[in-house]
Amino acid sequence: MGITERKTKEKTELKALIMSAARSLFLERGIGETSIRNIAERIEYSPATIYLYFKDKDEILHELHSQGFREMGAQMGVLMAVSDPVERLKALGRVYIDFARKNTEMYDLMFIAKAPMHYLEKMAEEKWSEGKTTFEFLSNTVAECIAAGRFAGHDADSLSFMIWSCVHGMVALEIRDRCKGISGETPQEIFRGAFETFVKVIEGL
Amino acid sequence: MGITERKTKEKTELKALIMSAARSLFLERGIGETSIRNIAERIEYSPATIYLYFKDKDEILHELHSQGFREMGAQMGVLMAVSDPVERLKALGRVYIDFARKNTEMYDLMFIAKAPMHYLEKMAEEKWSEGKTTFEFLSNTVAECIAAGRFAGHDADSLSFMIWSCVHGMVALEIRDRCKGISGETPQEIFRGAFETFVKVIEGL
DNA sequence: TGGAAAAAATAAACACTGTTTATTATATTT
DNA sequence: AAATATAATAAACAGTGTTTATTTTTTCCA
């Protein structure tokens, strides 16, 4: 089936082309300032063509959000080399915060924006697999810490959720511009202090 | 000056009418689904009239966001009655989380949405006074704890930012639908566990 | 009290947005 | 080469925030 094969290849290629145009525009100008027409213009196709490859804009944003999770997952994956679970947990916090601050638009899409979640609702999916996988990486590490006799009196899931909330809260506040003028420090200083505190708290648990 | 007085009164009255229509629509349908035309229709004025009272939509959203801070401030204010700063800190966490979960659209506008911050940018204001005031309520309480010999080895500002990030992170993840399918628990259970952990961590610092 | 001046409200337009439908162009099959 | 299936698009629809020119209403003063 040489011909239908080429056909499907062309289909996935144009789909990938749309994705890459969407992504670059998205990183350049932000999610709110990227329209279907912008994407179509960049790849020199008509706007309507995009709808032959994606159901709607939310589907594109969801796919981009999944890309982000794959990239973040790759960065977190190398932490498996850290054998001590407490050290791994601290490094995980560091990697998470770094990823968020170096890829703010991606992080926004992954954890803050509403749009990519609408895709799940339309598909009647109730589970957020990307988030679940990432959370399990954290909760497994926390469970290892507990198994090693640390974090006495804490439940792995609740503590994991609190740790996640803690690092997410930091970067979410900065990404959405809620740190301006707080305690007169620069973002650099705020995050240095915040991460130091994070590490101290983890060690003191 | 009875007449110019009445004039300014009418101006502030229509301004208040616009605000209340904006707010009710906003709470009914959400921020993203409330347009200037919707607001105008509800108060039976033309859309253009709204622009005689507000510079743009961002100004309305900023004013609404400030309303939210006044209401949250009122709820936090009663905590001044709690003399023990550590107890006050825990109660503050409780009040913060409760406010966020009972007023999700308002909380969204106050701490997550981009729109109300654009107003500050347009006005060339670099300080976010509402956020600063709220943060100072927290950081003063933390400073009191430290003065009372608690939280040894911690910097008041950094620890305050971490505590804020922690509670903000929790509610922000839920508001933007990032808790679905995480550890199979209901939001109720997740938040009960998270707050218990929060209290335990505070007490153990 | 009637007409000029000032203020308030609006209709209509502009430039966008996501999305759909009917039409045209291209490629494949018979 | 003609018929069919596929791909791409032009144009439209209904919506958005916002601005400009126009009309209505109110105030002021002769």
Q: Which residues of B touch A170 (CB under 8 A)?
A: 161-162, 165, 169
- Which of the residue ranges A67-71, B5-9, B160-164 would you say has the lowest mean pLDDT? B5-9
Query: Is pLDDT above 90 for A161?
Result: yes
Q: Is the CB of B47 under 7 A from strand D?
A: yes
Contact B32, B97 (CB under 8 A): no
pLDDT digits (tens, 9 = 90+) for A20-75: 999 999 999 999 999 999 999 999 999 999 999 999 999 999 999 999 999 999 99
pLDDT digits (tens, 9 = 90+) for A111-129: 999 999 999 999 999 999 9
Q: Does B166 touch chain A (CB under 8 A)?
A: yes
Q: Which residues of A touch B117 (CB under 8 A)?
A: 176-178
pLDDT digits (tens, 9 = 90+) for B89-113: 999 999 999 999 999 999 999 999 9
CA distance B181 to chain A (A): 5
Residue type, A18: I
pLDDT digits (tens, 9 = 90+) for B46-55: 999 999 999 9
Contact A88, A143 (CB under 8 A): no
**Segment 16-75 of chain B within 8 Å of chain A by CB:** 32
CA distance B165 to B172: 10
CA distance A2 to A22: 30
Query: Is pLDDT above 50 for B2?
Result: no
CA dihedral for A138, A139, A143, A145, sign (positive or negative): positive
Place of tokens 């991460």: A195
What pTM does this model have? 0.95
In this complex, do B182 and A158 lie within 8 Å of one another by their Cβ atoms?
Answer: no
A131-162 b/e (C-beta count within 10 Å ≥ 16 → b): beebbebbbebbbbbbeeebbeebbbbbbbbb
Our measurement of the distance from residue B184's CA atom to the centroid of its chain's CA atoms, rounded to an integer in Å, reads 29
